[in-house]
Amino acid sequence: MQKIKIFDTTLRDGEQSAGVNLNTGEKLEIARQLERLNVDIIEAGFPASSKGDLQSVQEIAKIIKNSSVTGLSRSIKSDIDAAWEALQGGAEPRIHLFLATSPIHMTYKLKQTPEQVIETAVNSVKYAANYFPIIQWSAEDACRSDLPFLAKIITEVIDAGAKIINIPDTVGYINPKEYGEIFSYLQENVPNIGRVSLSAHCHDDLGMAVANSLAAIENGATQIECTINGIGERAGNASLEEIAVALHIRSDYYKAKTRLHLQEIKRTSSLVSKLSGMVIPPNKAVVGQNAFAHESGIHQDGVLKEKTTYEIISPELVGVQTNSMVLGKHSGRHAFRNRVVELGFQLNDQEVNRYFKMFKELADKKKEVTDDDIFALLMEEKLSNHDISNYQLTSLQVQYGTNHIPTATINLNDLNGQQIQEAATGAGSVEAIYNTLERCIGSQVTLEDYRIQSVGAGRDALAQVYVKMRFQDEVSTGRGTAQDVLEASAKAYLNAVNRVLYIKNNRQIAKEVGV
């Protein structure tokens, strides 16, 4: 069986999804879960893009020991220096260099001749080799590149020190047959190709990212770049879970395997969905809520008699629990701790005691506390404390009646501990809350999207609100969870505002220190 390495770029390409902006705490939680999933390489970010991204990559590189951590870098010295600053403390530091090779990119974006592009690529790889033991080089827009030129530049960067060559379908243009032929062509026309591993990076603009990735494996690729839930630029990237399960289920055909712990797939998918605010479609392969549901009477009859009649993937394979112990107000600390560990959280005794108290308070309001409830409870608390919050909600009161104008009164604490109190009206309760918060902040906020969903089922379910807004010329998303819909709405709004202020503060720090 051929070993396929999984290069996960959820924290880099995935975060480039429109409206997704993860803070450092969220990135660390995802990185830890990717390590539990046992991915080979985690692309943690683009260190040169901002001081905040550099720090996030640096923290991830320090804590992750069982996966190699990498960062993206343009083919310029300052980017390579930033990447080394971020990654040098990692267990296996590597850099991911890229440079465009298609005629359209070289002419209009780089404004360089093919000879100049080769020179730039070679010089950047040689410079990176002074620091990094492993260099991955990517030919941006490779699938629209002239193949003889692609073979020539790859030959040169291998001689310069590249260990992995990545062939990205940057704009999701190619089909599986053509993509496989590129890998075959390079193996036949690059004389030193045997010294490197070949990697595939596919986008899903035409819905073929997974098929293209599998075609690459059939034609010699030994590394696949992908994201959890297929999130990423535009229509997204190749979906990690679909590729991994396809290789497992059809090992008879592909004769290839990964080292992934497949039972961690569902947990990882749910974590990324919740933190990114990108809801998983019910019909999404492998991880959608309908992936193991059977509506047709004929299908139900077949599954009851023999599961494999209509179920080629068992729920347990990817970590979907079909039965689990129910927690409630009579559950003890030991049962709570065990469930927290099963959900992938690592807490010390002090944290267990603090979260157990919060769990008990929630259990007094709910008959049954689900895994989703516990997950939401822990994530809300852990992540709200990781980054500095400029504004914290201390109290909220809403007056509403069918014959009265909705009015909200809110108390906030700012970064300096000063209390802010305001009241405002609106056409509805949520609008009244958001009008009041806008007064508290003293700056215009434009709400672009508002979504609410329950965490689990039942009338006593927690409410989870996602918002997308424009604040101080920045687009930001926010998330809030509470028993009450209105409180969750206020928390989501403040979460989005705090994210913008956190990003702007990091930019100011970077400017002051000359980054």
pLDDT digits (tens, 9 = 90+) for 29-63: 999 999 999 999 999 999 999 888 999 999 999 99
106 and 248 both lie in a single domain? yes
379 and 472 both lie in a single domain? no
Position 108 pLDDT exceeds 90: yes
365 and 406 both lie in a single domain? no
pLDDT-derived band at 499, boundaries 50, 70, 90: confident
CB 209 within 8 A of CB 203: yes
In a domain, 364, yes or no: yes
Position 514 pLDDT exceeds 50: no
160 and 243 both lie in a single domain? yes
Which of 242, 276, 310 delimits the end of a domain? 276
In a domain, 287, yes or no: no
CATH number at residue 128: 3.20.20.70
In a domain, 147, yes or no: yes
- The number of folded domains in the chain is 4
Q: Give the Cα separation of 256 and 149 in Å (integer).
A: 30
Handedness of CA 228, 450, 506, 274 (dihedral sign): negative
104 and 202 both lie in a single domain? yes
44 and 187 both lie in a single domain? yes
445 and 308 both lie in a single domain? no
Q: Which residue, among 144, 57, 159, 48, has the nearest Cα to 97 in the 3D structure?
A: 48
pLDDT-derived band at 23, boundaries 50, 70, 90: confident
- Mean pLDDT confidence for 79-86: 98
**Which one-letter DSSP state was computed for residue 15?**
G
- Mean pLDDT confidence for 116-137: 98
The mean pLDDT of the chain is: 90
Expressed as residue numbers, the domain containing 343 is 333-384
Position 273 pLDDT exceeds 60: yes
In the structure encoding, which two tokens stand for residue 366, read together? 């709910």
CATH number at residue 498: 3.30.160.270
30 and 104 both lie in a single domain? yes
Q: Give the Cα separation of 389 and 286 in Å (integer).
A: 36
Residue 311: per-residue pLDDT: 83
The Cα angle at residue 376 between residues 371 and 381, in degrees rounded to 5: 130
102 and 205 both lie in a single domain? yes
Burial, 194: exposed, middle or buried (Cβ in 10 Å; 0-12, 13-18, 19+)? Answer: exposed
Of the chain, the end-to-end C-alpha distance in Å amounts to 46
Q: Give the Cα separation of 86 and 70 in Å (integer).
A: 9
219 and 77 both lie in a single domain? yes
317 and 409 both lie in a single domain? no
pTM: 0.85
136 and 49 both lie in a single domain? yes
